Amino acid sequence: MGTPPEHVVVGVDIGYTCTGVAIYSTRRFISPGTSQGKIQPVVLQDWPDCPRTGKKVNVYNKVPTRLTYKAGDLRALSWGFSCLPREELDEAMLVREHFKLLLEDDCLVSYNERLKNEQNTRKDKNQRSQNDKEIIENVHKWFVDFLDKLERHIAENLENPPWRVDFDDTKVDYIFSLPTAWKENKVLVERFQQIIEEAGFASGQNCTATTGLSEAVASAVWTAKVVNHKFKETFSLFVTLEEDICVLKVIRFDNKTVEMEKLDSPISIFAGSVQIDKAFEDAFEKKLSALKEEDPQLFKEFAVSKHAAHIASRDRFQMHKENWGQATATNCFSISVHPDVQSSDKDSWTSGAKVEGFVPRIKFSADEFNAIFDEQIFKIVKILDMVLGNVREKVVHRSRALFSPGVLVVPNTFKQSLRDITSFKAFRYSWTQKEENRLVYDHMQRIIYGTSVLSTRICCASYGILYDKVFNKSEHQGKGRDCYRDPADGKKYVRNEIYWFITDGQEIKQNDSITFSQNRQMSAASPEGSWTNTIVLSKHPPDLLPNHFDKRLCTNLTTFTSDCDWTASREKRRFPLFGGKFLRGTYDVCISVEEEKLNIETKVGGEVKGSCLIPDIPWEFVEKKKTDTPNPANDFNN
């Protein structure tokens, strides 16, 4: 019986239409038959109720992000491929899909506006506000229901071959991607973190569930690992077209690891394949209404399905959409109107004999088809032109740029549109394929090689150290602070001031260190050989951080002890004698940024006198736009 893997990482990429899962284990990384030095995640393809072709089960790398509910029942009736097509549902059943972005306030407002227009009802301000809150709660429930079923399915796969995971012994990390716009919105991140925990992803004693790279960066990571030959040039760029547009520069790449740097802040977009489908459905509905008015006799014996437009947007239209822009694509598109089989004799429709002569057809000319595409493509091209213009000065002229089409599955027409924009002409470009297992690479690279794909990390909390500060009348008088007078210099000091050496949102380069000095003075006759330092944590915004320890605003993380032979230090002139009775000098506090932890050391004359580790540091391995904020350690030392 096989030994369970040492460490398993599961990447969960929740998409607007479909969700993908990739699995990786450290044991699989070193097992015989795999390529040494290469991370090789496995895409989950075993989904409940996958469609079949004859007796053969079709292979799908993703499962539809979809749920079916029944009126009066709060439980999800089915999920993914188990959901029936809309036209086959009972009247009391409803499919929920395309809800991914509704956690974002702006998208929720747009959704409510669309509902209001469709229902053509009036609501006063208070009623709308209440309805918005109900919708947020519903979206939260849809997410939890979908992820609960997904978690159960993933766990079942992990327990079976080839993984054979024993959840009591194996560390399992679930990593979720987020739209880049969410990464800088703490409310959204916390809301989504609560959802994945409620769904059970962090319920096991050895399981963790966190949000990882943004979708755009995860896409770049995957492509860098798969098409590495594209990135061997200096200043190579990677441009992703997901729900956001992101430009990264490859600064280091080998067969094992890749390191990138963002050149500009990602910009969210709400355009692409799904919006093209919606535009096609709207155009189909208009043409169908016009056809009914033009020839009502045609529809006397023909009951049109209320889902006719949605049905038309599947299958043949999807193939036509992907081929649009190629020389082989047809100049027009024609499709039959789908009948309502529930209100007619189903056998007569399926036989085709009685309906062949009069089934109405909707036709689209090439110009009409282009108009559907152009609106979406124009949105993306306009934003991309701005983004490429911003980064053009930061790279060598005619640098190679690799584009990932992401959610835009109409690359042919899109490529033609790009050739006309000025900023695009500054690059030599090529296109890559779609990715399926992109999310796992960065986390596994950090586990195996100790380096992140992105050279800059961002801390999600603030960390400080307590120290004693010289009393200042304007700052401390009448505040009830704990004070004392030091006989060494006769000055009055205030206890438990805080120096924040890392603040929430601060950017720190990988493997960087933070160093600052603190003063120490004592009696020369009987110098104290040891002292303590206390590290504190706060999750409040940087502008609300306290100057002194307040248990309402910060937490005491740990206290550690340092030991030093002060006599030896005096001989080395580290702590010189002053006033004939006292020793005075400084010691260094050195903090190194390591994988998921901080290593803190105190040093005198370069020799380590004390140390402690702060585990489970909430790093984000995603860069924000660079700021000119100086390192607070420099201010402390000055």
Q: How confident is the model at residue 212 (pLDDT cuts 50, 70, 90)?
A: low
**Is pLDDT above 80 for 230?**
no
CA distance linking residue 132 with residue 141, whole number of Å:
14
Residue with tokens 């984000």: 620
Concatenated DSSP letters of 504-529: TT-EEETT-EEEEEEEEEEESSS--S
- Residue 312 or residue 37, greater confidence: 312
CA distance linking residue 115 with residue 139, whole number of Å:
15
Q: Please report the pLDDT score of residue 570 as a whole number.
A: 53
- Residue 45 or residue 113, greater confidence: 45
Q: Please report the pLDDT score of residue 154 as a whole number.
A: 94
pLDDT digits (tens, 9 = 90+) for 161-189: 888 888 888 889 888 877 766 766 778 88
**Is pLDDT above 60 for 492?**
yes
CA distance linking residue 286 with residue 288, whole number of Å:
5
Residue with tokens 């010691």: 587
pLDDT digits (tens, 9 = 90+) for 349-361: 333 333 444 567 7
Q: CB of 344 within 8 A of CB of 354?
A: no
Q: Please report the pLDDT score of residue 31 as a whole number.
A: 40
110: left (phi over 0), alpha (psi -120 to 50) or beta: alpha
**Is pLDDT above 90 for 144?**
yes
Q: Please report the pLDDT score of residue 560 as a whole number.
A: 92
Contacts of 414 (CB under 8 A, 6+ apart): 325, 377, 380, 381, 405, 408
Q: Does domain 228-431 have CATH number 3.30.420?
A: yes
**Is pLDDT above 70 for 235?**
no
In the predicted model, what is the mean pLDDT of residues 513-542?
84
Q: How confident is the model at residue 125 (pLDDT cuts 50, 70, 90)?
A: very low
**Is pLDDT above 60 for 229?**
no
CA distances from 412 to 141, 200, 274, 418, 436 (A): 38, 42, 17, 10, 21
CA distance linking residue 459 with residue 451, whole number of Å:
16
Distance between first and last Cα of the chain: 62
Structure-token pair, residue 365: 């000319």
In the predicted model, what is the mean pLDDT of residues 282-306?
80
The residues spanned by each domain of the chain are: 7-220, 228-431, 455-468+499-637
Q: Which one, of 311, 313, 381, 380, lies nearest residue 340 by Cα? A: 311
**Is pLDDT above 50 for 365?**
yes
Stated pTM of the model? 0.61
190: left (phi over 0), alpha (psi -120 to 50) or beta: alpha
Residue with tokens 């075993």: 46
Structure-token pair, residue 316: 């043949």
Q: How confident is the model at residue 198 (pLDDT cuts 50, 70, 90)?
A: very high
Q: Please report the pLDDT score of residue 538 as a whole number.
A: 92
Q: Please report the pLDDT score of residue 465 as a whole number.
A: 94
* Residue 251 half-sphere exposure toward CB, CA atoms < 13 A: 14
Contacts of 437 (CB under 8 A, 6+ apart): 11, 20, 22, 41, 42, 43, 222
pLDDT digits (tens, 9 = 90+) for 385-424: 777 777 766 666 556 666 665 555 445 556 666 666 666 6
Residue with tokens 């009685």: 354
Q: How confident is the model at residue 295 (pLDDT cuts 50, 70, 90)?
A: confident
In the predicted model, what is the mean pLDDT of residues 257-284?
72
Contacts of 455 (CB under 8 A, 6+ apart): 251, 259, 260, 261, 509, 510, 623
Q: How confident is the model at residue 509 (pLDDT cuts 50, 70, 90)?
A: low
Q: Please report the pLDDT score of residue 156 as a whole number.
A: 94
Strands (E), 117-202: 171-178
Q: CB of 271 within 8 A of CB of 410?
A: no
Q: Among 61-70, 158-167, 297-306, 462-471, whose mean pLDDT is lowest?
A: 297-306
Sign of CA dihedral 575, 576, 578, 583: positive
**Is pLDDT above 80 for 558?**
yes
Q: How confident is the model at residue 537 (pLDDT cuts 50, 70, 90)?
A: very high
Q: CB of 366 within 8 A of CB of 332?
A: yes
81: left (phi over 0), alpha (psi -120 to 50) or beta: alpha
Contacts of 282 (CB under 8 A, 6+ apart): 309
Q: Which one, of 274, 312, 279, lies nearest residue 86 by Cα? A: 312
Q: Which one, of 281, 261, 601, lies nearest residue 457 by Cα? A: 261
- Residue 429 or residue 60, greater confidence: 60
Residue with tokens 């190629």: 326
**Is pLDDT above 50 for 133?**
no
pLDDT digits (tens, 9 = 90+) for 574-597: 566 566 677 777 889 998 876 567
Mean pLDDT (the chain) is 73
Sign of CA dihedral 538, 543, 544, 547: positive
Q: Which one, of 191, 208, 188, lies nearest residue 200 by Cα? A: 208
Backbone angles phi, psi at 607, to 5 degrees: -95, 135
- In whole angstroms, what separates CA 408 from the centre of its chain? 19
pLDDT digits (tens, 9 = 90+) for 4-51: 456 888 888 887 788 888 888 877 654 434 444 455 678 888 899 988
**Is pLDDT above 60 for 131?**
no
DSSP 552: T
